[in-house]
């Protein structure tokens, strides 16, 4: 017997890692996907890809940063297996920090908007008594470092929020809250960076993200060896950290 | 994200370029500025046809979505940055295969069209471009064009070396398969005459043919090699190859391989069966893409990089030009490990600048040893020239422009379709 149809709503669905997560999902089981993002044409292109691979897709184009948009109504009438939040932005830190508006915008994309979405999904999960909420954080959230502390701090905020939310939802054993922490991944976000051996392909990270979602892991480093690296970095004495270019 | 100054290399890594590189995630975000532009797929061309020093390079590999697939007819439409690797992992389980494939699957759909690549079934199926349907082309004036087969700009874009614009999406007619495996026969041959005889005998009954030739052999052994021929099998299941770790080569040398291990590999290969013929049942991956299993193998040639020399000489010239080429290579002591010999058939490609033409083609790698390598090439060129042969731009980093102009008769027709905002280091070199 084939597994039952899996219902997922994905925010920031057009991201490269989310795309690969969905391709892995669709390769494993029949799926009905609601693809949400800011750009109708791009969402349609993604939907065409996932439909070719066997999924049912609907798209919803809206400004994810606008709290006035009543997108929640599109989530009614379905029991959701997964809410996945993937949008994010890795800005040029130097430029951003010189402009208060840009700082606000980056925090909006990487922290405020995902948190608003997570907050809106929470009552749905409580009502369902089952389902998974997964958000992309980053290894950058594990310790603030000179190279990307603005981005890192927003991802650390996500981490703290999800840890509290997980606590609150612990009385619903069917509900899982998953923090996905990719390490350096070869996507448009990092296209300008030289590719060293620490880089993983988006396809691999997407596959591992899907495994973590299926298992309902609380925190998943993608790939898992990033746990070791970040553990080292977290425990590096400050005077040593300050001598690095990390 | 704004364009970044980056250094990009081709597969041979001899003349890397520094360019403003954009890596758009979507076809709608491709932009042009005042500087000349060029698309870059996975950089599997050996020379400088995928490079544009000081220009604006548009890396396409994130444009990798399948736009439509008809499971009954096998017509695929996809964005141009999808790799053949990705297409195969999608279509093989559904019982479909590429109409033809080059020796690596780490090339993009757009790159395969722009070089009008060929495979082991050229004598049956022609080039990649023979199977390409509509093409979506974006020109540097930001105009978008839907090119249909038979239209002049379609024929110019097939094999058009990226100079007619950016292909954003294209249709490809896939072929049905019953199994992911092939029934393969290996036949030893002792010289080029024997090679040509086996080729002729095989062309009717074998869909895929190629030969491996021992370039270090001389004297009586000159031109000895193994003829490899295969047909799709009826048995073996429809499992695709496993995913590669990272299709993009990482930016530092990889010393896992050295000359010694490849040399040993070759000897094993040559001695791998007793007697004259041997039959094996083989998955398509080792059959079509043997080198893809060895990540970053090209690094064995070291910092100075390497050339590939690929030419075709017409059948009318017979085996002698190739014999002469093999003699010159053996005498130079610069023989490469990987020498591939194949006959092209007479299925004409629509491409105006397509390389394959009826005859014998030889492709082999040479470590870059500077002047001595180029000297040898000039001697080989003389032989190819007097046989009225030609060279493959996808592999080239040094051909004489006069040979290009002499041997591509549709070049003037092609020039009408050039996008004035596009260029490449290859094109500049031809017109220097
Ligand atoms: C191990 C190996 C084996 C090979 N075997 C064969 C073989 O058997 N037969 C064969 O024919 N070739 C063979 N090749 C060569 C290879 O197939 C071609 O060079 C191929 O075109 C490379 O594709 P790419 O995506 O890497 O393109 P690139 O090398 O990045 O670019 C190639 C050309 O295509 C253009 N281009 C790329 N994308 C687009 C686009 N979207 N729109 C417009 N133009 C574009 C570029 O501007 C450039 O001119 C082999 C190469 C290797 C490394
Ligand atoms: N790549 C890495 O190395 C890496 C490492 C750790 C964590 N991550 C995290 O993983 C997630 C996915 O990253 P990725 O590399 O796959 O990214 P990506 O391919 O660059 O995609 C970024 C996504 O964010 C969306 N986005 C950006 N700005 C937006 C805005 N203002 N409003 C709405 N959407 C916006 C984009 O939408 P459009 O398509 O409309 O532009 C796109 O869907 C992100 O949260 C990222 O922070 C990535």
d(CA B150, CA B148): 6
Q: Which atom of ligand 1 is least distant from the CA of B120?
A: 8
d(CA A45, CA A56): 14
pLDDT in tens, B341-373: 999 999 999 999 999 999 999 999 998 999 999
Partner A contacted by B67 (CB < 8 A)? yes
Ligand 1 is surrounded, with C-beta below 6 A, by B 11, 38-45, 49-50, 60, 80, 102-104, 107-108, 110-112, 114-115, 117-119, 161-162, 166-167, 291, 394, 424
pLDDT score, position B1: 56
pLDDT score, position A78: 95
pLDDT score, position B254: 41
d(CA B348, CA B405): 20
How large is the average pLDDT for residues B241-249? 72
pLDDT score, position B269: 60
Location of structure tokens 């892995």: A24
pLDDT score, position A82: 98
CATH number of the domain located at residue range(s) B181-397 in this protein = 3.30.70.2520
Beta carbons of B247 and A14 less than 8 Å apart: no
A85 Cα to the center of ligand 2, angstroms: 10
Beta carbons of B68 and A48 less than 8 Å apart: yes
Q: Which residues of chain A have pLDDT under 70?
A: 1-2
A182 lines ligand 2 (CB under 6 A): yes
A25 Cα to the center of ligand 1, angstroms: 31
* Bond from prior residue into A108 cis (ω within 30 degrees of 0): no
Report whether pLDDT(B267) > 60. no
Location of structure tokens 């097939």: B158
Location of structure tokens 């959701």: A80
Q: Work out the end-to-end distance of chain B between its first and last CA atoms, rounded to an integer number of angstroms.
A: 34
pLDDT score, position B274: 72
pLDDT score, position B302: 76
pLDDT score, position B363: 96
d(CA B172, CA B68): 11
Partner A contacted by B6 (CB < 8 A)? yes
- Binned at pLDDT 50, 70 and 90, residue B37 comes out as very high
pLDDT score, position B246: 61
Burial of A45 per CB tally in 10 Å (0-12, 13-18, 19+): buried
Partner A contacted by B291 (CB < 8 A)? no
A141 lines ligand 2 (CB under 6 A): no
d(CA B38, CA B296): 25
A206 lines ligand 2 (CB under 6 A): no
- Mutation target to probe the B interface, by most B beta carbons within 10 A, among A27, A49, A89, A184 is A49
Which residue lies with its CA nearest to atom 13 of ligand 1?
Answer: B102
- Shortest alpha-carbon distance between residue A126 and chain B (Å): 36
d(CA B177, CA B93): 10
A87 lines ligand 2 (CB under 6 A): yes
Does CATH number 3.30.450.20 belong to domain A6-241? no
Q: Between these two residues, A2 and B97, which has the higher pLDDT value?
A: B97
Mutate to test the pocket of ligand 1, among B44, B161, B355, B418 (most ligand atoms within 8 A of CB): B44
Instruction: Say if residues B28 and B138 touch (Cβ distance below 8 Å).
Output: no
- Binned at pLDDT 50, 70 and 90, residue B255 comes out as very low
- Shortest alpha-carbon distance between residue A201 and chain B (Å): 6
Nearest CB among A14, A19, A196 relative to B251 is that of A196
pLDDT in tens, B43-89: 999 999 999 999 999 999 999 999 999 999 999 999 999 999 999 99
pLDDT score, position B257: 43
3-class SS letters over chain B:
CCCEEEEECCCCCCCCEEEEEECCCCHHHCCCCCCCEEEECCCCCCCCCCCCCCCEEEECCCCCCEEEECCCCCEEEEECCCEHHHHHHHHHHHCEECCCCCCCCCCEHHHHHHCCCCCCCHHHHCCHHHHEEEEEEECCCCCEEEECCCCHHHHHHCCCCCCCCEEEEEEEECEECCCCEEEEEEEEECCHHHHHHHHHHHHHHCCEEEEEECCCCCHHHCCCEEEEEEEECCCCCCCCCCCCCCCCCCCCCCCCCCHHHHHHHHHHHHCCCCCCEEEEEEEHHHHHCHHHHCCCHHHHHCCCCEEEEEEEEEHHHCCHHHHHHHHHHHHHCCCCCCEEEEEECCCCCCCCCCCCCCEEEEEEEEECCCHHHHHHHHHHHHHHHHCCCEECHHHCCCCCHHHHHHHCCCHHHHHCCCCCCECCHHHHHHCC
pLDDT score, position A246: 85
Beta carbons of B90 and A16 less than 8 Å apart: no
Question: pTM of the full predicted structure?
Answer: 0.96
A189 Cα to the center of ligand 1, angstroms: 25
Mean predicted lDDT score pLDDT of chain B? 92
Q: How many alpha carbons lie under 13 Å from residue B353 in its C-beta half-sphere?
A: 29
Number of continuous H segments (helices) and E segments (strands) in chain A = 9, 9
pLDDT score, position B303: 80
- Mutation target to probe the A interface, by most A beta carbons within 10 A, among B6, B65, B92 is B65
**Those residues with Cβ within 8 angstroms of residue B194's Cβ, 6 or more apart along the chain or in another chain:** none
A124 lines ligand 2 (CB under 6 A): no
Q: Which atom of ligand 1 is least distant from the CA of B394?
A: 19
How many Cβ atoms from other residues are within 10 Å of residue A61's Cβ? 15
| CA-CA-CA-CA dihedral for B369, B370, B374, B377, to nearest 10 | 10
Mutate to test the pocket of ligand 2, among A14, A87, A206 (most ligand atoms within 8 A of CB): A87
Partner B contacted by A188 (CB < 8 A)? yes
pLDDT score, position B260: 44
Q: Which atom of ligand 1 is least distant from the CA of B38?
A: 47
Beta carbons of B65 and A49 less than 8 Å apart: yes
pLDDT score, position A2: 64
- Binned at pLDDT 50, 70 and 90, residue B2 comes out as low
Q: How many alpha carbons lie under 13 Å from residue B58 in its C-beta half-sphere?
A: 33
Residue of A nearest to B247 (CA): A201
pLDDT score, position A1: 53
Q: Where are the domains of chain B?
A: 66-177, 181-397
- Shortest alpha-carbon distance between residue B108 and chain A (Å): 16
Q: Where are the domains of chain A?
A: 6-241
Nearest CB among A187, A195, A200 relative to B251 is that of A195
| CA-CA-CA-CA dihedral for B132, B134, A14, B59, to nearest 10 | 60
- Binned at pLDDT 50, 70 and 90, residue B337 comes out as low
pLDDT in tens, B268-311: 565 667 778 899 999 999 999 988 877 667 777 778 899 999 99
**Those residues with Cβ within 8 angstroms of residue A207's Cβ, 6 or more apart along the chain or in another chain:** A20, A21, A24
Could you give the ipTM of this predicted complex?
0.96
Partner B contacted by A197 (CB < 8 A)? yes
Query: How many residues does the structure list for chain A?
Result: 246
Burial B56-79 (b: 16+ CB within 10 A, else e): bbbbbbbbbbbbebeeeebbbbbb
H helices of A53-197, in order, are 93-97, 100-107, 113-128, 149-168
Instruction: Say if residues B83 and B177 touch (Cβ distance below 8 Å).
Output: no
How large is the average pLDDT for residues B104-133? 98
Helical packing angle, A16-28 and A40-52, nearest 10°: 30
A167 Cα to the center of ligand 2, angstroms: 27
* SS3 state of residue A235: helix
Query: How many residues does the structure list for chain B?
Result: 432
Report whether pLDDT(B22) > 80. yes
CATH class (in words) of the domain with range B66-177? alpha beta
* SS3 state of residue A69: coil
pLDDT in tens, B169-224: 999 999 999 999 999 999 999 999 999 999 999 999 999 999 998 887 778 888 89
């Amino acid at each position: 017997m084939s597994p039952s149809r899996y219902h997922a709503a994905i925010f920031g669905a057009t991201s490269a890692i989310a795309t690969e997560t969905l391709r892995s999902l669709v390769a494993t089981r029949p799926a009905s996907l609601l693809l949400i993002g800011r750009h109708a044409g791009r969402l349609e292109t993604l939907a065409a890809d996932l439909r070719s691979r066997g999924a049912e897709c609907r798209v919803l184009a809206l400004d994810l940063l606008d709290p006035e948009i009543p997108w929640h109504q599109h989530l009614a009438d379905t029991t959701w297996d997964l809410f996945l939040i993937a949008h994010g932005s890795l800005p040029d830190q130097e430029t951003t920090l010189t402009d208060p508006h840009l700082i606000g915008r980056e925090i909006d994309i990487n922290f405020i908007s995902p948190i608003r979405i997570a907050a809106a999904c929470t009552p749905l999960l409580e009502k369902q008594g089952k389902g998974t909420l997964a958000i992309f954080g980053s290894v950058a959230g594990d310790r603030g470092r000179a190279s990307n502390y603005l981005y890192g701090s927003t991802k650390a905020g996500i981490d703290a929020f999800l840890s509290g939310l997980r606590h609150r939802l612990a009385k619903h054993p069917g509900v899982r809250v998953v923090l996905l922490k990719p390490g350096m991944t070869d996507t448009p976000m990092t296209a300008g960076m030289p590719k060293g051996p620490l880089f993983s392909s988006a396809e691999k990270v997407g596959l591992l993200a899907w495994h973590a979602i299926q298992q309902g892991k609380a925190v998943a480093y993608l790939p898992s060896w990033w746990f070791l690296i970040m553990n080292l970095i977290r425990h590096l004495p400050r005077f040593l950290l300050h001598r690095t270019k990390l | 994200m704004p364009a970044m100054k980056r250094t990009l290399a081709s597969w041979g890594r001899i003349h890397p370029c520094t360019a403003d590189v954009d890596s758009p995630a979507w076809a709608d975000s491709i932009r042009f500025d005042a500087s000349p532009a060029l698309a870059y797929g996975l950089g599997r061309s050996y020379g400088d046809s995928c490079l544009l020093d000081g220009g604006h390079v548009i890396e396409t590999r994130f444009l990798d979505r399948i736009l439509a697939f008809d499971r009954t007819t096998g017509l695929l439409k996809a964005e141009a940055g999808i790799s053949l690797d990705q297409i195969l992992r999608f279509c093989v389980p559904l019982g479909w295969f590429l109409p033809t494939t080059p020796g690596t699957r780490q090339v993009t759909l757009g790159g395969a069209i722009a070089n009008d690549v060929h495979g082991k079934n050229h004598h049956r199926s022609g080039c990649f471009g023979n199977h390409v349907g509509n093409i979506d082309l974006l020109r540097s004036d930001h105009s978008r064009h839907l090119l249909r087969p038979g239209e002049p700009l379609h024929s110019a874009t097939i094999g058009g070396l990226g100079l007619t614009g950016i292909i954003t999406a294209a249709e490809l007619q896939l072929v049905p398969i019953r199994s992911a495996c092939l029934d393969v026969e290996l036949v030893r041959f002792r010289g080029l005459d024997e090679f040509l005889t086996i080729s002729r005998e095989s062309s009717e009954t074998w869909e895929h043919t190629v030969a491996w030739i021992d370039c270090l052999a001389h004297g009586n052994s000159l031109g000895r090699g193994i003829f490899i021929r295969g047909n799709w099998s009826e048995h073996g299941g429809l499992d695709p190859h496993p995913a590669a770790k990272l299709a993009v080569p990482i930016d530092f040398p990889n010393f896992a391989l050295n000359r010694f291990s490849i040399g040993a590999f070759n000897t094993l290969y040559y001695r791998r069966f007793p007697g004259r013929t041997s039959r094996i049942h083989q998955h398509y991956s080792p059959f079509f893409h043997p080198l893809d299993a060895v990540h970053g193998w090209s690094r064995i040639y070291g910092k100075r990089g390497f050339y590939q020399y690929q030419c075709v000489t017409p059948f009318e010239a017979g085996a002698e030009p190739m014999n002469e080429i093999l003699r010159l290579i053996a005498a130079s002591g610069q023989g490469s490990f990987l020498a591939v010999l194949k006959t092209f058939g007479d299925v004409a490609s629509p491409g105006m600048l397509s390389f394959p033409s009826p005859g014998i083609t030889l492709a082999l790698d040479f470590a870059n040893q500077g002047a001595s390598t180029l000297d040898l090439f000039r001697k080989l060129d003389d032989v190819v020239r007097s046989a009225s042969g030609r060279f493959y731009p996808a592999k080239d980093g040094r051909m004489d422009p006069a040979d290009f102009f002499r041997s591509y008769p549709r070049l003037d027709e092609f020039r009408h379709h050039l996008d004035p905002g596009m260029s490449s280091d290859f094109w500049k070199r031809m017109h220097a």
